[in-house]
Structure 1
Amino acid sequence: MGKINFFLDNKTEKCIINRLQSEGCVFAEDETRLLISEARTSEELMKMVEMRAGGLPIEYVVGYTEFCGLRIEVDRGVFVPRKRTEFLVHQAESLSCSGDIVVDLCCGSGAVGVALAAAVGRVVLYSADIDPLAVQCASRNVANSGGRVFKGDLYKALPHSLKGHVNILVANVPYVPTKAIKLLPQEARLHESRVALDGGEDGLDIQRRVAQEAPLWLAPGGHLLIETSKMQTPQTFEIFSSSGLTTKVARDEELDATVVIGTNSGLSLGK
C-alpha cells in the first residue's frame, strides 16, 4: 500500500501522465504510479510531478531506487546505481562466502556492497568514496548490513589493517572518458556528481589505480571485480593482467553489462 491519503481521480492521473510525457519521460505511466504511491498529500504529489517534469531524475524525486530487489536511498547528486550493475553484484556473489571481508570502492550510495551483503549473508563490509555526499548517503544504506563507510581517495580511505586480507573487492569506478561526459543523458550529466562519472582521458584512469594496488589488499585467492564498457574491455583486461592478477571477463548481453574479474593467485603482498 502506498502513502497516499487523498482521493485522486483517473482524470488527474491521466493529466500527470500527459505532463510527464510532454517533458520526454519515456516511462511516464510507471513514474506516475510511483509518484502517487510516495505522495502523502495532493500538494506534495504536484510538487513531485513538477520536479520530475523539470528534469530531476525520478530517483532523486522519491529519494530511493530499487536495486537487486532492495530499496536503496539516493540523495541528490549521488550516483544512481544502474540496472546493469546488478550483474557486478551477481558475479561477486558467485565468488563470495559467508564471513568474507568485502570492500566496495567508489561506493556511491553503497548499493553494490549492500546488495552483495544481502545476497551472501554475513560478510564484513567496508565501503568508501571520495565524495562526502556519497559517504553520507551510503552510511544510511550500509548501516543495516553492519558495514562501515569511509571517506577518502580509493585505498587511502581504508583501514591499513585490511591490507592482504580482502576477499572480495568490488569497484564500480567512473569509466566515462572526459570528452564523452557531454554525450551522457541529461539526467546523469546535469544531476550526478562529475567525480562519479569522469574516468579521465580514456575513461580508465581510476581502473588503473584500483588494479595497480589491488594485489596489496587482496588476500591470496581474493578477487577484484570492476564494471567496464564492452568497448573498453580489452584495455581493462590488460590493466588487470599487468597488475599481476589472473584475469577473466564476464558479459551479459541483455543488460549490456561487462565485468572484468581479477584473482590474486600469489602470496599476499600486504603483510
Structure 2
Amino acid sequence: MSVFASATLRSSVISRLRAAGCVFAEDEARILLSASTTPAELAAMVSSRAAGRPLEHVVGWAEFAGLRIAVQPGVFVPRRRSEFLAATATGLTRPGAVVVDLCCGSGALGAAVAAAAPHPVELYAADVDPAAVRCARSNLAGGAGPAGARVFEGDLFAALPDALRGRVDVLLANVPYVPTADIALLPPEARLHEARPALDGGADGLDVLRRVVAEAPVWLAAGGTLLFETSERQTPTALAVVRAAGLAAADIRHEDLDATVVTATRR
C-alpha cells in the first residue's frame, strides 16, 4: 500500500492500535500498511491485531536476526532476545559443522545460524508440533535458510536420524522454560495464540531441558556444544543440571536483550 497516499489512513490505524493497547502502535502501523495491498485487507489486519492476535501471525512473518521468518497462526513467534542465542551458536560453527535446531518452532534459530555462519553448515531441525514443522520447512528450504536443510517431526531426539549420534557440533535447543504457574501471567499474545507446549516448561520451567540434557551427550560430537536460553532466575539450577550430565557448563548474559544463554560442552 502506498505510504504517500495514506497519511490519514496511517493516523487512523495508529489510533486504533493505541486504543487496543498496542504499545508500539506507530511501528506496528508501519508494518501493517506495508504488508497490506488494499484498504479492505488493511482493515481486516488491523481488526485482527486489535483483537489481540500477535502482529507476526497477522502479517505472516517475523523479523529475526535480519531475516524475514514465516510464522503461521499458533506457531511460537521468535523473540528478539533469542538473537543472542543464535549469535552465540554461530560463533561456535566451523566449516561443515553439523548444526541441529531442536524444538525449532519456525526454524528461526537454524535459519539465523546458517545465514550468519561464515562457511556452509549441515543443518537439521525438529519439532513435535506439525504446524511448526510445516513453518520450519518453509523457512529452511526457502529464502531464509539453506535449501539442503532437513526438518523432522517428532519428540526431541526421537525425531532425528540415528546417523547424527555423536556427530552434532552445535545443538540449539530453545526449549520451553516458563513455569506452569506463570503461564497465566504471560501477555495474551503468547498465552492465547501460541501453542502451550512451546511455552510450558513444567513446575520449575526446566522439565524439557532436563530431558534434552540427559540425552545430549550421546548426540554431541567430541567438543560439541548444546546451547539453550533460560531466565536469570533459573540459571543456577540449569547449570547444575548440565554439570550433573557430565557436560562443561557456562552461562553468558546480554543485558540489553535481557537474555541468558547456557552452553553445555561435551568434554
- CA offsets per residue over residues 197-253 of structure 1, 9 Å max, x none? 000111000100001110000000000001000000000000100011011111111
Q: Which residue of 1 aligns with 2:100?
A: 103
The one-letter code of the counterpart of 1:51 is S
Q: Which residue of 1 aligns with 2:136?
A: 138
Within the alignment, does 1:27 sit opposite 2:29 as a pair?
no
Picking from 40, 43, 47, the partner of 1:43 is 40
How far apart, CA to CA, are the structure 2 residues paired with 1:122 and 1:65? 24
- CA offsets per residue over residues 115-143 of structure 1, 9 Å max, x none? 00111131111100000000000000010
Q: Is the 8 A contact 1:174 1:199 kept in 2?
A: yes
Picking from 127, 152, 175, the partner of 2:125 is 127
SS at match of 1:164: coil
Q: Which residue of 2 aligns with 1:226?
A: 228
SS at match of 1:180: helix
How far apart, CA to CA, are the structure 1 residues paired with 2:229 and 2:249? 13
Q: Which residue of 1 aligns with 2:258?
A: 256
The one-letter code of the counterpart of 2:127 is D
SS at match of 1:33: helix
How far apart, CA to CA, are the structure 2 residues paired with 1:177 and 1:72? 27
Q: Which residue of 2 aligns with 1:189?
A: 191
Q: Which residue of 2 aligns with 1:85?
A: 82
Within the alignment, does 1:162 sit opposite 2:164 as a pair?
yes
How far apart, CA to CA, are the structure 1 residues paired with 2:250 and 2:187? 30
Alignment of 1:239-250 (within 5 A): 239-250=241-252
Query: What's the CA shift for 1:98?
Result: 2.1
How far apart, CA to CA, are the structure 1 residues paired with 2:116 and 2:7? 40
Within the alignment, does 1:116 sit opposite 2:113 as a pair?
yes
Gaps in structure 2 of 5+ consecutive residues = none
How far apart, CA to CA, are the structure 2 residues paired with 1:69 and 1:11? 30
Q: Is the 8 A contact 1:6 1:40 kept in 2?
A: no
How far apart, CA to CA, are the structure 1 residues paired with 2:92 and 2:6? 50
Query: What's the CA shift for 1:7?
Result: 7.1
Q: Is the 8 A contact 1:129 1:151 kept in 2?
A: yes
Q: Is the 8 A contact 1:6 1:41 kept in 2?
A: no
- Cα RMSD, aligned residues only: 1.1
Query: What's the CA shift for 1:114?
Result: 0.7
Q: Is the 8 A contact 1:251 1:257 kept in 2?
A: yes
The one-letter code of the counterpart of 1:33 is R
Gaps in structure 1 of 5+ consecutive residues = 266-271
Please give the TM-score of this superposition, normalised by the length of structure 2. 0.96
Q: Is the 8 A contact 1:6 1:42 kept in 2?
A: no
How far apart, CA to CA, are the structure 2 residues paired with 1:248 and 1:52? 40
Q: Is the 8 A contact 1:5 1:41 kept in 2?
A: no
SS at match of 1:83: coil
Q: Is the 8 A contact 1:64 1:72 kept in 2?
A: yes
- CA offsets per residue over residues 135-155 of structure 1, 9 Å max, x none? 000000010312011000000
Query: What's the CA shift for 1:12?
Result: 2.0
Q: Is the 8 A contact 1:60 1:75 kept in 2?
A: yes
Please give the TM-score of this superposition, normalised by the length of structure 1. 0.95
Query: What's the CA shift for 1:90?
Result: 1.0
The one-letter code of the counterpart of 1:56 is R
SS at match of 2:76: coil
How far apart, CA to CA, are the structure 1 residues paired with 2:184 and 2:255? 25
